[in-house]
């Protein structure tokens, strides 16, 4: 199985900040990466797929990049509604696997 | 509009079998490249992928849980069923089903999840 390591596991940021979350795969996944946002008590929500493609309806302040084994989710100008936990998921191989999550908290 | 809804028992005893049903609308599992996955999340922990069933009835399972899992579909009822045998307290989690809309297996629409507690 491909292991997905997310960092950091948590971070504190202020409204308006730029936030970067990293996901590293244990082998190359050829951009087969999705990012999800999860708020407490809610189901995850798809933000991006194919490493950098924004899901319909997701604000453009969310962006993704990367290649090979290393990928990044960036949130530009953090908004109050962005405080949540973010997960990466690889779908290059089955079983699909998730990262351990990054909790974005208010500073 | 695509929706999914999970249903099943809230409380189970150790060694019992869990049966969860995902009822969905807005798409058909007989449509090429449609799939449904199950994912779980223990309290305060990360998401864990469990299983997937594809439009052509291909089935895939978590490596660590595959001996305990069975996934099936009833296309006419728009339902996917997941069974997990020999439940243990460590299986306590919220269980989600989610749709996959193409050959890239990311989940674009999720159900709200159903909590399952395993306790004697």
Q: How far is A52 from chain B (nearest CA, A)?
A: 13
Give pLDDT, residue B59.
Answer: 97
Residue of B nearest to A1 (CA): B63
All residues of chain A having their beta carbon less than 8 Å from the beta carbon of residue B62 are 95
Q: pLDDT per residue over A55-107, tens digit each?
A: 999 999 999 999 999 999 999 999 999 999 999 999 999 999 999 999 999 88
All residues of chain B having their beta carbon less than 8 Å from the beta carbon of residue A51 are none
Residue of A nearest to B43 (CA): A41
Q: How many Cβ pairs closer than 8 A exist between chain A and B?
A: 59
Averaged pLDDT, A16-24: 97
Q: Give the closest of A38, A45, A95 to B49, CB-based.
A: A95
Burial label for A72, CB within 10 Å (0-12, 13-18, 19+), is: middle
A43 to B111: CB separation less than 8 angstroms, yes or no: yes
- Strand ranges of the sheet holding A70-75, from the earlier edge strand across to the other edge: A4-7, A19-25, A70-75, A62-67
Share of chain A above pLDDT 90, in %: 98
Q: Give the closest of B49, B52, B60 to A98, CB-based.
A: B49
Burial label for A100, CB within 10 Å (0-12, 13-18, 19+), is: middle
A44 to B96: CB separation less than 8 angstroms, yes or no: yes
Say how far apart CA A28 and CA A23 lie, in whole Å.
Answer: 12
| A23 closest CA partner among A63, A71, A67, A74 | A71
A101 to B47: CB separation less than 8 angstroms, yes or no: yes
Q: Which of residues 15-74 of A touch B (CB under 8 A)?
A: 32, 34, 36, 38, 42-46, 49-50, 55
For residue A40, give every residue at least 6 positions away whose Cβ sits within 8 Å of its Cβ, in sequence order, or none: none
Q: Find residue A74's DSSP bridge partners.
A: A20, A63
B106 to A34: CB separation less than 8 angstroms, yes or no: yes
- Look at residue A16 and give its three-state secondary structure: coil
B110 to A55: CB separation less than 8 angstroms, yes or no: no
Give pLDDT, residue B104.
Answer: 86
Residue A29 structure tokens: 């996944």
Answer yes or no: are the C-beta atoms of B65 and B50 closer than 8 Å: yes
- Look at residue A95 and give its three-state secondary structure: coil
A98 to B46: CB separation less than 8 angstroms, yes or no: yes
Torsion angle, alpha carbons of B60, A71, B100, A53, to 10: -160
Give pLDDT, residue B102.
Answer: 83
Q: How far is B120 from chain A (nearest CA, A)?
A: 25
Which residues of chain B register pLDDT less than 70?
A: none
């Amino acid at each position: 199985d491909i292991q997905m390591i997310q960092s950091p596991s948590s971070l504190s940021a202020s409204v308006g900040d730029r936030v970067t979350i990293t996901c590293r795969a244990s082998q190359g996944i050829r951009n087969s990466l999705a990012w999800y946002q999860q708020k407490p008590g809610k189901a995850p929500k798809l933000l991006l797929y194919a490493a950098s493609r924004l899901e319909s309806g997701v604000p453009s302040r969310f962006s993704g990049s990367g290649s090979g084994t290393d990928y990044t989710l960036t949130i530009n100008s953090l908004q109050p509604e962005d405080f949540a936990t973010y997960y990466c998921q690889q779908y290059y191989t089955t079983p699909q696997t998730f990262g351990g999550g990054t909790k974005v908290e208010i500073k | 509009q695509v929706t999914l809804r999970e249903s099943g028992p809230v409380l189970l005893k150790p060694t019992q079998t869990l049966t969860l049903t995902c009822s969905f609308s807005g798409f058909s599992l007989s449509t090429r490249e449609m799939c449904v996955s199950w994912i779980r999340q223990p309290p305060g922990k990360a998401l864990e992928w469990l299983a997937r069933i594809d439009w052509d009835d291909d089935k895939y399972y978590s490596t660590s849980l595959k001996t305990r899992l069975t996934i099936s579909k009833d296309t006419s009822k728009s339902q996917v069923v997941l069974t997990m045998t020999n439940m243990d307290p460590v299986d306590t989690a919220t269980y989600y089903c989610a749709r996959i809309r193409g050959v890239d297996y990311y989940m674009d629409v999720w159900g709200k999840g159903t909590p399952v507690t395993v306790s004697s």
